[in-house]
Amino acid sequence: MAEVQGSGKASCVSGVQQGLQCRHGSQGINARSKLQFMMANGALVRVLVHTDVTKYLLFKAVDGSFVYKQGKIYKVPSNDVEAVKSTLMGLFEKRRARNFFIFVQSYDEEDSRTHEGMDLRTISTKELFSKYGLDDNTIDFVGHSLALHRDDRFLLEPALDTVKRVKLYAESMARFQGGSPYIYPLYGLGELPQAFARLSAVHGGTYMLGKPDCKVEFDEMGQVRGVTSEGETARAKKVVCDPSYLPNKVYVLIRRAHLTKMCSSLLST
């Protein structure tokens, strides 16, 4: 299994990997598997490990990650040997990139000694790259192949987000010592809710799947008391749900140009 990412002007590649879809976008070719991947050290995987849901899941690591550049496909290096042999960068550019990666790996938001005199919350990503003398090709590689940004707006945004993304990529790569930082459930994403259902059953929980027209019920004091569907009510002291189930109890919070749906009642006695 492999992932292919594209940048620059390019025509569609055929025969890259059976099962991959290929489509054009503003960044040229963007071919990716129908499966949805997870970062091996991402928040979702950490939640799965913390809750012991992984006892009911089998994962497979993605063998490699590739980039399409100037008519050729290159493997994103996954170890020191591949990095030395890779032709994505020249020798001197590799040295500059290495200094940048050392900074990223050692960076700790809470430890000012690792900041090298920079406040990544205020300086732009472009300014950070300039400090290490990275050329346009390396910036494109880091921004899109490692930090996984969809466009170039990140260059004008605070550098902290990009540094965290690159750091996550490196940590995910190291977690399972694979050829890429990506993993996926062996039998598809549908295994995730099934695994939670199995874990819930072990602790006495009950799952009711495919129930239509679910309605959250409240008592005369306005406290939640359960969920009703098809004339049956499952009683509970707490309900966790999507905001769409509570259209009369949801408000929109506007902060920093982002809309966040907040469920004002969620939902406890």
Tens-digit pLDDT profile for residues 195-219: 988 998 898 887 777 788 888 999 9
Q: Is the domain of 71 the same as that of 186?
A: yes
Q: Is residue 145 part of a domain?
A: yes
Q: Is residue 268 part of a domain?
A: no
Q: Is residue 127 part of a domain?
A: yes
Q: Is residue 156 part of a domain?
A: yes
Q: Is the domain of 120 the same as that of 172?
A: yes
* Threshold 0.75, pTM exceeds: no
Q: What mean pLDDT do residues 112-135 have? A: 94
Q: Is the domain of 232 the same as that of 258?
A: yes
Q: Is residue 116 part of a domain?
A: yes
Q: Is residue 269 part of a domain?
A: no
Q: Is the domain of 175 the same as that of 83?
A: yes
Please tell me the distance from the alpha carbon of residue 117 to that of residue 104, in angstroms, as a whole number: 14
Q: Is the domain of 31 the same as that of 163?
A: no
Q: Is the domain of 49 the same as that of 102?
A: no
> Given pLDDT bands bounded at 50, 70 and 90, which one contains residue 5?
low
Please tell me the distance from the alpha carbon of residue 202 to that of residue 147, in angstroms, as a whole number: 39
Q: Is the domain of 70 the same as that of 6?
A: yes
Q: CB 22: neighbour CB atoms within 10 A?
A: 14
Segments forming the whole domain that contains residue 188 = 1-76+180-202
Q: Is the domain of 166 the same as that of 184?
A: no
Q: Is the domain of 110 the same as that of 234?
A: no
Give Cβ neighbours of residue 14 (< 8 Å, ≥ 6 apart): 22
Tens-digit pLDDT profile for residues 70-97: 888 988 988 888 888 888 888 889 999 9
Q: Is the domain of 71 the same as that of 185?
A: yes
Q: Is residue 13 part of a domain?
A: yes
Tens-digit pLDDT profile for residues 149-207: 999 999 999 999 999 999 999 999 988 877 889 999 988 888 988 898 899 889 888 77
DSSP string for residues in 92-139: HHHHHHHHHHHHHHH--TT-GGGSTT--TTTSBHHHHHHHTT--HHHH
Q: Is the domain of 168 the same as that of 88?
A: yes
Q: Is residue 227 part of a domain?
A: yes
Q: Give the total number of structural domains in the chain.
A: 3
Q: Is the domain of 24 the same as that of 102?
A: no
